[in-house]
Chain A
């Protein structure tokens, strides 16, 4: 059940989240939660559909969200293709671009070395 979108005062992007009956917030984007917790974007405003804004703070060390007017709620992690604006390291980019890298077999390496050596000439 999608209840609303999340806005921050610096990122200006939206991410769908869900609020279940067991008092857990389900983010669509795991990385987005990590970005928020890492960059300490507090306070964050949640706009519930048809209701007034609920202000809460993130507690990054415990990965919990505390509504200012309610008890602590655990964050459950979901998944989404949602875009976040936090920086991505080159190592993370490498893993994204090449999820299944290949190393040459021994036979292929032999062919490769022979092909490369054919470009060189003895001085």
Chain B
């Protein structure tokens, strides 16, 4: 019978201590900088990797307003893929989840809060990912609570029509950094005000 540690190590990505040390050094010295977070080449054309940045996406959200049965829409826009790479082969009939990227300068001018900007750019805010400028992509932020689902057939159709482009891919360190941010956001301890039933 497989013990829990073995199960964990088999099923979740791990990096070596050496990789972690280099990543920590880069993060401490440069912050999230395009020199280590973005790869010099894109991932394979036959798949969409977790962390790839695509353009030509559309995002939606429901809010109260004049017609709150209709979503507000953003797009075409850039977005970062959250779905695991193994689920993202374009010939698989599954869905993909991405988080839209918002122009950082426009966002920061809107919030007008120097402390908040400092924390977001340092990437210490649990729910917000800050991505630096890369090639012709401006610096951007992603809010992990603003997710959108698209079908793989939609992605493939848009890609074949030239309306969807892969704009950037992450390095190994960038990928681990994204996973660390997602972990920080989704797996941080729950509030102590919540009491769950304990099964004996």
Contact = CB atoms under 8 A, between A and B. Distances in A.
The answer on A and B forming one complex is: yes
B23 A93 contact: yes
Interface string B1-30: 000010011001111111111011001000
Contacts of B179: 90, 93
A90 B12 contact: yes
Given A101-B124, A101-B126, A121 B8 contact: no
Given A83-B17, A86-B17, A96-B24, A120 B61 contact: yes
- Secondary structure dominating the interface of B: mixed
Interface stretch (A50-58, A71-79, A104-112): A104-112
Band of interface residues on B: 35 or more
B116 A108 contact: yes
B180 interface: yes
Contacts of A114: 110
Interface residues of A, number: 36
A103 B127 contact: yes
B23 A97 contact: yes
A97 B24 contact: yes
B113 interface: yes
B102 interface: yes
Interface of A: 31, 35, 38, 83-94, 96-98, 100-104, 108, 111-112, 114-123
Given A121-B72, A121-B73, 15 more contacts: A88-B16, A89-B14, A90-B179, A91-B183, A93-B179, A94-B183, A96-B20, A98-B180, A101-B124, A101-B126, A103-B126, A108-B111, A116-B143, A118-B110, A123-B70
